[in-house]
Amino acid sequence: MFDVEITGIGSYVPENKVTNDDLAALVDTSDEWIIQRTGIKERRISLGEDTTEMAEQAALRALEDAGVEAKDIDLIIVATVTPTYYFPSTACLLQARLGAGQATSFDISAGCTGFIYGVDIAAQFIKSGVHKTALVIGSEVLSKITDWSDRRTCVLFGDGAGAAVLQRGKAGIIAGFTGADGTGADYLYCHGVPLANQFLPLQDYGPHYTVMNGKEVFKFAVSMVPKNILRVLEGTGYTLDDIKYFVPHQANTRIIEAAAKKLHVDLDRFYINIDKYGNTSSASIPIALDEMAGKGQLLSGDLIIIAGFGAGLTYGAHLIKWTTAGQKK
């Protein structure tokens, strides 16, 4: 068994900013209403960049941060619910763009928990000796599956991508797990291609937009985030007091505040950037990590916990020791 560490991190968001006031011109909402309920002030919306293009930009930045060349990557995992195509996978498209022809490449769909699922899968491949260097990306163009006439959902989501390089090395990925509760699948979903062929009448499932039962998803998240943080610490010898930062999926500030309260942890130890980007699904955690690293907030030896939840319903967490030193260039 080999130890695994994160050696590079990178992110990319579109330049186009959409403020709450911009959305108030589209639907019956207001800046105050959105901030009070979500904590979001603005989000980035693509004006042309697709999932693969954003994944490439985030990946290149992560590779540069790690000092790794594309030819050294032997595993690419892209977590997304908004792939460029149904097939081939976004990971295969990315492999070609990067020139990483030797890399096993595939997508995973775990909603907003996608990056955590990807890290978990990559870490197992590396620990077992099957692969040495993995690129894990969360990339989403949620704007293309958003109903811009529905004020309950259109105010929540943003576009973006985040990437991490995982390699054999120091003991950086200390503990982690993933899970799912499929009984909650109907709480958050988006229809695919309807079943139709020459032997069946056309079935209309309606628009292919994100549908969410916000109340149920909120209840699930408020319950699971603190549980998962405590669970990932079990058997490690570490306690909440040892953790420098908690980096949760950025879905709603009220969820994060509730988790901090349940754990009796100061809110300032929870990293929050949802006000700038909205909910970017699988990209939210790596975007946050890259932002933290860029500010010099993550130093070698720091212990952090990443925790997520998403469509499925899925969930997971990782206890990570940061092994790179200093502020990113």
Point out the catalytic residue in the list 112, 190, 252, 318: 112
Cβ-based neighbours of 27, under 8 Å, separated by 6 or more: 148, 149, 150, 151, 154, 155
The span from the CA of 327 to the CA of 329, in Å, is 6
Pairing of strands 75-79, 42-44: unpaired
3-state helix, strand, coil in the chain (%, to 5): 40, 25, 40
Is residue 293 within 8 A of residue 307, CB to CB? The reply is: no
Nearest to 10 by CA among 77, 51, 55, 58: 58
| Active-site annotation holds for 131 | no
| Active-site annotation holds for 249 | yes
The span from the CA of 149 to the CA of 152, in Å, is 9
The encoded tokens of residue 17 equal: 């900013």
Point out the catalytic residue in the list 20, 228, 249, 252: 249
Could you list the active site residues?
A: 112, 249, 279
